[in-house]
Amino acid sequence: MPNLAQIAIAARAHAHAPYSNFRVGAALETSTGEIYTGCNVENSTYGLTICAERVAVVKAISEGARPGSFVRIAIAADTPTLTPPCGACRQILAEFAPGAVITLVNLAGLSKSYTIADLLPESFNDSFLR
């Protein structure tokens, strides 16, 4: 089993964060063992900035991974405490990776794992649309 946390830390190096200098990396693993990475990409308007988690999900889907196939996700940031996904990323993960184990890591070696239900209880889902 690959060290997903180390892969997320490596992905962090590719972040485009000239405004905040807050670099985040993410790595997703599918049920078939494929790994997709992402990093945050900032824009001067901030509202158009995209987080590492969403980059990784969109990259995976655009390369043929199927929603629901993600089993593990690691999110890495260089902060003294762990950095959880923002609300938008939590909603994306609730839809595309509902059963995945989400592990938050920092560069000091601190880590903790969650499910999306831990991070976003009572999430919006397609059952509301039926």
Q: What single-letter amino acid sits at 126?
A: D
Paired sense of beta strands 70-77 and 24-30, if any: antiparallel
- The answer to whether residues 62 and 43 touch, using CB atoms and an 8 Å cutoff, is no
29, 34, 42, 53: the catalytic one is 53
Q: Are 108 and 77 in contact (CB under 8 A)?
A: no
Q: Which of 32, 83, 84, 29 is nearest to 57 (CA)?
A: 29
SS3 101: strand
State how far the Cα of 91 lies from the Cα of 114, in Å rounded to an integer.
14
53 is an active site residue: yes
Q: Which residues are catalytic?
A: 53
